[in-house]
Structure 1
Amino acid sequence: MGKSFLPDDVNQSLLFPPSLHDWLPENHLARFLVDVVSALDLSAIYASYEAGDGRGKSAYAPAMMVRVLLYGYATGVYSSRKMEAKTYDDVAFRYLSADAHPDHDTLSEFRNRHLEALAGLFTQALLLCEKAGLVKLGHVSIDGTKIKANASKHKAMSYARMGETEQRLKAEIEALLKQAEDVDAAEDAQYGKGKRGDELPEELARRESRLKKIAQAKAELEQEARQKAERERAEAEAKLAERRDEEARTGKKKRGREPSVPDPEQAQPEAKAQRNFTDPESRIMPDGANKGSFLQGYNAQAAVDAKAQVIVAAEVTQETNDNRQLLPVLGQVKLNLGRSPEAASADAGYWSEANATDESVAGIDLHIATGRDKHEQNIDATSEPPPIHATAKEAMRHKLRTEAGRSIYKMRKAIVEPVFGQIKEQRGFRRFSLRGLDNVRREWKLVCLASNLLKLFGSGWTPQPA
């Protein structure tokens, strides 16, 4: 007797209406997201629809759209076009969309329209993680990662090249205007005056448009240079004051060159300073994953709690260096959770005496490398107290040589770097979908929100509907 097979008829009609709940196993992420979204406060999104007059085509339910977006970000699907396709091809997306199929324009418009409210869900989800016992704030590790902007670095131009191009375009425009005047004069001689010709020649209009963009980019770079000089002047004046105090205290002139105080009014951008014409707020930054390479992007910051690798603060900056990010990120931790961490660790990029001595971190046990040394490997441990008159830097270096200090600092990489790996390697988030610093900041919080929801899902915690 031959082998028997189960029925296989693609034309089989269903005798009873199918239930969406039969499509997925009980412990599936999509089911979890349905429960989580029902527990979140979406009033900020719903409120934007209340001003309408009720006419026009009905909108998709915001809760459904949020479910689809969050599942996309949690599974590495960031393109609205791919999300649309998934509502047909992927059972989980089809379940979350209740078998509806919003097109990519609708998904994109919803994300853009409600981006601030979606980013605000980061804090709500973080509080759920805290409620589930995944956040303790005993030790928070801070780091940054470079993420590409939605722009090519080949669409950038340096300040020096802007000046050269500006002069060339001005000369070309003058030549085109002279040519137009000659043509007008010839036509006037042939046909007489009174012939209208209001439109600029296409070639002239294109050059004038480029000239305006370059002039705007130059002005922005010059303003940035002045602002940078203002910051450097304040820092130099503080160092000079500190130097004078030390000389007065010791009665000896301090060795070394005094810091120079720049004049912001005389500040000029560096010749290599660049501006991108696709996303002017993005910056050229070193690519940490490829030494010696550069990318057009942003510096994404995160503070990660040691308990379960939950992101407790998320920020994005245009600055390549992390030095000015420590205090804002720690401030955001307190804002999000109502309290500061007991201890915080960060690499040498975050070190400055100003950071270590700021009053806002007075109650936090900071562990910040002061140089590129591998403290736990190259320097002998110590149990001695720090020198009596140790500077902030000397005191920090001493702390990282103690057994307790080493124990905390060596955990830094194990806390924060796996989270960046999961976001960039597992879920493939390597380029922002949106442009502009404000939009990018909100999208980064959406990315971090998805990361935290996955931690919450993995913990086995079950949300209760609001």
Structure 2
Amino acid sequence: MPEKQYRDWNPDQPFLLPPSLQEWLPEDHPVYLMLDILEELDVSAIDRKYQEKDARGTRPYAPKMMVGLLLYGYSVGIRSSRKLEKATYEDIPFRVLTAGNHPDHSRISEFRRKHLDELEDLFLQVFQICQRMGLVELGNVALDGTKVQASASKHKAMSYERMLEEEERLKEEIQEMLAEAEATDSEEDERFGRKNRGDELPEELGRKEERLQTIQQTKADLEKEAKQGRAEEVQAKAERASGRAETHESKKERKRSETLAEKWDEEAARLRQEADEQSGENAREAETPEGMPKHRPKTETDGTPKPKAQRNFTDPDSRIMEKGGEFLQGYNCQLLVDEAHQIIVAQGVTNNAPDNGNFGPMVEKGTDNAEASPEAVLADSGYWNEDAPAEVNRRGTEAYIATGRQPHGKKTPTRSGTPTDAATAQD
């Protein structure tokens, strides 16, 4: 009986002609869609930045290739620049996308950092291309958020109360070390004479002084931000009182509200002035570019931070947030997604942990991106407040927001009174 024959296999077989990249993957592979999208993208803003530089030196990689590498990598869950570099060697779709180029991880991360604003605009371009392809119907869209780890450790955060304690402790230690150094210098001068050096301060002193300076600067930043936040709260109270002073039916209440409005206006102005006079960082915006509220440290009535108010030394904008029963140092990332083909209509990032207050701004951004209003927006109970539906109803959009949480497995009555599984109503 003849032996079974196998198909030819020779890993060392050279090609007579170079292989075509188009033959490496099936025709319907997503990377080819990405290449088609790249042809439609306008990267002239990135190109202008390169053209403004000296033409001499190392040639940069093609902007469209770098944009495609980032977009495709992120779409398949690869966010590490080192892993993206590795994929250009080992992963066929990435080799097809980069056409045999292998930008190293430092080039990839540098490209992203330098062109963040332009990449934000490219998100909108990609969405509009998907819209023209019929992938966005704007029937039902869903809004949700997730907590994402920042490039900072929660162990690098310190509360205002701890900052005050550490500041005093370090001051005492530095004074003790200075006194010890002075005593040591005097003793060595007597033993060895002044010609021999003995005036160097201990190396540890420099480290403690640096840490003290860092804590003092961070404390000043936190105090300034707290005063700014308190000024905004008081100003909002003044505006509400001013509204009552104009519309309330009771003359006595109108007079009282007018007095309160004047008092709170003065208080807000005082807090703003004190914040301006402090040595902390420049004023932080109270909202994100989308209009979502940002975190403000909790304050006492005089505008000083509460003892538990925290700030991170590595990434001051990030905040400690809960995710899945654990805590991380990060941000609250929001996505508005079209139901038809799971296309992202709008995205936003805030350092405020609760989702409340994000509903209207995110739907507004999605409407602006699509230049049309969704028929309906779905969101969980984290987005619920009494004003949320009205924020989108004026644009002709229906809001479906859970008004509360319901335990898994709990039965809820239907209109006819028959219990039914409440899985769809759960948060």
TM score, norm. by length of structure 1: 0.71
One-letter amino acid of the structure 2 residue matched with residue 268 of structure 1 = T
Equivalent in the alignment of 2:404: 372
Which residue, out of 282, 297, 318, partners 2:330?
297
Q: CA deviation at 1:9?
A: 2.2
Give the superposition deviation at 1:167. Answer: 0.9
Match of 1:326 among 359, 369, 374: 359
1:346 and 1:412 in contact (8 A); partners too: no
Aligned equivalents of 1:353, 1:230: Cα separation in 2: 25
User: What code does the residue aligned with 1:88 have?
Assistant: Y
Please say if 1:56 is aligned against 2:89: no
Gap change, CA 1:148 and 1:340, over 3 Å in 2: same
SS at match of 2:128: helix
Q: What amino acid sits opposite 1:271 in the alignment?
A: P
- Structure 1 CA distance, aligned partners of 2:80 and 2:187? 55
Residue 148 (structure 1) shift: 1.4
1:305 positional shift: 2.7
Q: What's the counterpart of residue 391 of structure 1?
A: none
Counterpart-to-counterpart distance in 1, 2:212 and 2:98:
47
Q: String of CA shifts for 1:281-301, please: whole Å, max 9, x gaps.
A: 1101121x23xx322110111
* Structure 2 partner of 1:93: 94
Deviation at 1:168, TM superposition (A): 0.8
Secondary structure (helix, strand or coil) at the match of 1:301 reads: strand
| Equivalent residue number for residue 32 of structure 1 | 33
Distance 1:219-1:313 versus aligned 2 partners, 3 A rule: same
Q: Give unpaired runs (5+ residues) of structure 2.
A: 254-259, 272-301, 417-422
Q: Deviations over 1:382-420 (max 9, x none)?
A: 9xxxxxxxxxxxxxxxxxxxxxxxxxxx9898xxx9xxx
Paired residue for 1:212? 213
Cα separation, 1, equivalents of 2:69 and 2:172: 53
In the aligned structure 2, how far is the partner of 1:116 from the partner of 1:370?
35
Cα-to-partner distance string for 1:109-132 (whole Å, 9 max, x where unaligned): 222222221221110011112112
Alignment CA distance shift 1:411-1:245 (3 Å): farther
Q: CA deviation at 1:342?
A: 4.2
| 2:133 maps to 1:132 | yes
Aligned length, in residue pairs: 378
The 3-state SS of whatever aligns with 1:296 is: strand
Contact conserved, 2:379 with 2:402, CA < 8 A, in 1?
no
Q: Is the 8 A contact 2:357 2:383 kept in 1?
A: yes
What is the CA distance between 1:197 and its match in structure 2?
Answer: 7.7
C-alpha contact 1:157 1:276 (8 A) present in aligned 2: yes
Separation in 2, partners of 1:208, 1:105: 33
Shift of 1:318: 0.7
Alpha-carbon shift at residue 133 of structure 1 (Å) = 2.0
User: Partner residue of 2:165?
Assistant: 164
Q: Could you tell me which residue of structure 2 aligns to residue 233 of structure 1? A: 234
Q: For residue 36 of structure 1, report the CA deviation from its aligned partner.
A: 0.9
Superposition deviation, residue 16 in structure 1: 1.7
Query: 1:350, 1:368 within 8 Å by CA — same for their partners in 2?
Result: no
Tell me the equivalent position of 1:423.
none
Instruction: Assess, with a 3 A threshold, how the Cα gap between structure 1 residues 88 and 307 changes in structure 2: closer, same or farther.
Output: closer
Alignment CA distance shift 1:7-1:136 (3 Å): closer
User: In structure 2, what residue type is equivalent to 1:269?
Assistant: P
Aligned Cα root-mean-square deviation (Å): 3.6
Q: Conserved in 1, the CA contact under 8 Å of 2:88 and 2:94?
A: yes
Counterpart contact for 2:185–2:198, Cα < 8 Å: no
Q: Per-residue CA shift, 1:2-31, capped at 9, x if unaligned?
A: 111122222222222222222111111111
User: For residues 223-271 of structure 1, what are the alpha-carbon distances to aligned partners after superposition, in whole Å with 9 as ceiling and x for unaligned?
Assistant: 232233233324444555677789737999xxxxx9x979664022222
The whole-number CA distance in structure 2 between the counterparts of 1:349 and 1:154 is: 27
Pairwise mapping of residues 8-27 of structure 1 onto structure 2 (< 5 A)?
8-27=9-28
Return the letter of the residue paired with 2:202.
Answer: P
TM-score with structure 2 length normalisation? 0.77
Q: Deviation of residue 171 (structure 1)? A: 0.8
Matched, 1:308 2:341: yes
Query: Which residue identity is paired with 1:303?
Result: L
Unmatched runs of 5 consecutive residues or more in structure 1: 253-257, 383-409, 418-466
Give the structure 1 partner of residue 115 of structure 2. Answer: 114
Assess, with a 3 A threshold, how the Cα gap between structure 1 residues 172 and 368 changes in structure 2: closer, same or farther. Answer: farther
Q: 1:123 to 1:69 in 2, by over 3 A?
A: same
Q: Which has the higher contact order (CA 8 A, sep 6+)?
A: 1
Mapped pair 1:177 → 2:209 = no
CA offset at residue 381 of structure 1? 5.6
Helix, strand or coil for the counterpart of 1:304? Answer: strand
CA distance in structure 2 between the aligned counterparts of 1:351 and 1:364, rounded to whole angstroms: 19
1:349 aligns with 2:382: yes
Give the Cα–Cα distance (whole angstroms) in 1 for the partners of residues 205 and 26 of structure 2: 63
Please say if residues 88 and 100 of structure 2, whose CA atoms lie closer than 8 Å, have aligned partners that are also in contact.
yes
Give the structure 1 partner of residue 68 of structure 2.
67
